[in-house]
Amino acid sequence: MRQLTYLTIIVLVLFPSCLERKADKIFLHESQLQELFDGGKGTFLEGPVVASDGIVLFTFLVLKDSLGQMASQIMTYDPKTGQTKKFKDTSGIPNGLAFDQYGNLIICNPKNRMISRQDMQTGKEEIVAESFDGRPFDEPNDVAVDLSGNVYFSDPIFRKKDTVYQDIRGVYQVASNGKIELIATNAENPNGLILSPDQKKLYVADSPFIPGAKIQRGGAILLYEIQKNGKFSFSKRLVEFDGDGPDGLAVDKDGNLYVALYDAYKIAVYNPFGESLDELIIHNIHPTNVAFGRGEYKNILFITTENSLLSIETSQEGFNIPLL
């Protein structure tokens, strides 16, 4: 008995992650996956984000003709009434959305090659970032905001372009003072991104892609540590994928990571060590992004797909930055 005790102590000292208990099943009622909005054929949804009142905002693209021209809008879904309506028409093709601590809406616009900020009270919109080192961004895709108001966004390439301006498919930070810095350079094609609840880690979905060919080659979740001086250092490839690369990300209050796997038709959940906890299969529907609700909807995971907005109850409380 004493030998077993000593052995247990040695294992726990050498492998402290053994002290971490895996969460219980995340998706308690998979059969209760609900469709909240159906955009119909020829539509594409992205960028779910939740306002302080629980309203879900998401980007909504409608294919207008065979040439690939699109009309774009930002829509709202009210979980109290079940109603979906147009929030605004947009220029370009908006993708990722986020709120800063003041409740302003941050918008990624790949076609217009910029990040903008909209005051939700006045409707006034201003440019947050549109160039780096004197050259335009290529395709700002997804965005996150930390507790200090710093904005983070990815700049991949998913659409074939005549001109590529940036030499690196990078992740950028726009500090609260407006300074733009390239903080991550080793992703092949950065996509979704999210900060951990303690604000000490940045997760980036790396989605290698051949523009024009629509071929995705696996991918990974990359982990970056945020140092006390605010600098970012690459830690490791936390999770590897084979053929079903990651898209949008979310985290819960325990730091578990929720990953939309577009070509695998599922949402996968990992703990902070990269260990699999649970997955939700969405049969024959491509999920694009995920976001947790707020307030009474804090346990609800909202999911955008190619054509629809879905939701499902989880056993976890989601994490969103507090809004002032």
Q: Using one digit for the tens of pLDDT, what is the confidence trace for 143-172?
A: 999 999 999 999 998 876 678 889 899 999
**d(Cα 31, Cα 317) in Å, to the nearest integer?**
20
Instruction: Return the CATH number of 39-313, one of 2.120.10.30, 3.40.640.10, 1.20.1250.20, 2.60.40.10.
Output: 2.120.10.30
Query: pLDDT tier at 36 (50, 70, 90 boundaries)?
Result: very high
Q: What is the model's pLDDT at position 67?
A: 57
Q: In this predicted model, what pLDDT tens digit does every residue of 38-95 receive, in sequence order?
A: 998 889 999 999 999 999 999 999 876 555 567 899 999 999 999 999 999 988 889 9
Return the residue matching tokens 């790396």.
206
pLDDT of residue 3 exceeding 60, the answer is no
Q: Which percentage of the chain shows pLDDT scores above 70?
A: 87
List, in order, residues 6 or more apart from 15 with CB less than 8 Å away. Answer: none
User: Does residue 234 register a pLDDT over 50?
Assistant: yes
At 216, the pLDDT band (50, 70, 90 cuts) reads: low
**What pLDDT is recorded for position 22?**
42
pLDDT-derived band at 323 (thresholds 50, 70, 90) equals very high
The whole-number average pLDDT for the span 191-211 is 91
Residue of 162, 177, 123, 118 whose CA lies nearest to 143: 118
CB-CB neighbours of 146 under 10 Å: 17
- Looking up tokens 């004197």 gives 134
CA distance 232 to 290: 25
For residues 175 and 185, give the distance between their C-alpha atoms in angstroms, rounded to a whole number.
Answer: 18
72 or 223: whose pLDDT is higher? 223
d(CA 289, CA 144): 13
For the stretch 96-120, pLDDT in tens is 999 999 999 999 999 899 999 999 9
Helices (H) and strands (E) in the chain, counts: 1, 28
pLDDT score, position 228: 87
Phi, psi of 202, deg, nearest 5: -120, 125
Pair of tokens at residue 45: 């949804």
